[in-house]
Structure 1
Amino acid sequence: MPAFEVRAITPADTYTLRHQVLWPDKPLEYVKVENDAAGLHFGAFLGEELVSVVSLFVEDSEARFRKFATHPTYQRQGIGSVLLKRVLTEARRHGATHIWCDARQDSADFYARFGLLPQGAEFFKGPIAYLRMGCEL
């Protein structure tokens, strides 16, 4: 696994990678979340290069993470796993007892390795299949 550092970042720091990885065919505005200012945002850096981002939103005992994106060059190298572990830790630290996400169907096995299980039926955002996945913390 490459040496990298996870740091807190601003919402604006997430936009380019979110756009590039998740929705490159949509306008940049599409990857912004209406309550980004209320979230906690984390990035994995190789030196000064931001290679993975995720945003966490905690409300009372419920946490949701969104817009988890890792640059394709750095996928399947453990960076996303470390970043997700950080999100789970931060959610607990902020008092959450349950966490969930809308996961792309093709990423469901990745989330299952962290104890997140499907919660409901498959649904679509455009042509992309998703599952709501979650777990108790």
Structure 2
Amino acid sequence: MPAVDIRSISPADTYALRHQVLWPDKPLDYVKVENDAAGLHFGAFVKDALVAVISLFVENTEARFRKFATHPHYQRQGIGSALLQHVMAEARRHDATHIWCDARQDSAEFYARFGLLPQGSVFYKGPIPYVRMGREL
């Protein structure tokens, strides 16, 4: 894995990667979350280049991460894993006892490696199948 620096970023800093990786065929506004201002946003940097982003929303003891995106050239190098581990630690630091996400079904195996399990049935956002996944912290 290349040297990675994980740090807090602004919601706007996440938009370009969210758009490029998750929904490139939609307008940029599509990747914005209605409560982005209330979230905690993190970026993984390699040599000062932002290569992965994730957003965390904590409400009481529930934490949800959203819009997790890693630039295609940096996938499968451990960067996303490091970022997800960081977010789980942040969720605990904010007194969350449960964490969850709506995972694209083709990413479920990745999340399972972190102990997240399917919670409910498959649903769709447009043509893309998703499953809610979560775990206790």
Task: Answer yes or no: same fold by TM over 0.5.
Answer: yes
Unaligned runs of 5+ in 2: none
In the TM superposition, 1:41-120 aligns within 5 A as 41-120=41-120
Question: Matched residues in 2 for 1:4 and 1:96: separation?
Answer: 25
Question: Matched residues in 2 for 1:52 and 1:39: separation?
Answer: 16
In the TM superposition, 1:16-31 aligns within 5 A as 16-31=16-31
Question: Matched residues in 2 for 1:102 and 1:5: separation?
Answer: 26
Question: Matched residues in 1 for 2:76 and 2:123: separation?
Answer: 25
| 1:101 shift after superposition | 0.1
Unaligned runs of 5+ in 1: none
- The TM-score with structure 1 as length reference comes to 0.99
Equivalent position SS for 1:103: strand
Question: What fraction of aligned residue pairs are identical, expressed as a percent?
Answer: 79
Question: Matched residues in 2 for 1:48 and 1:26: separation?
Answer: 27
| 1:110 shift after superposition | 0.4
In the TM superposition, 1:2-21 aligns within 5 A as 2-21=2-21
Equivalent position SS for 2:56: strand
CA RMSD of aligned residues (A): 0.4
Question: Matched residues in 2 for 1:93 and 1:48: separation?
Answer: 26
Misfit runs of 4+, over 2 Å: none
Deviations for 1:50-99, whole angstroms, at most 9, x for unmatched residues? 00000000000000000000000000000000000000000000010000
Q: Read off the aligned partner of 1:9 and give its amino acid letter.
A: I
- The TM-score with structure 2 as length reference comes to 0.99
2:136 is matched with: 136
Corresponding pairs, count = 137
Equivalent position SS for 1:82: helix
1:121 is matched with: 121
Deviations for 1:17-49, whole angstroms, at most 9, x for unmatched residues? 000000000000000000000000000001111
| 1:8 shift after superposition | 0.5
Q: Read off the aligned partner of 1:124 and give its amino acid letter.
A: Y
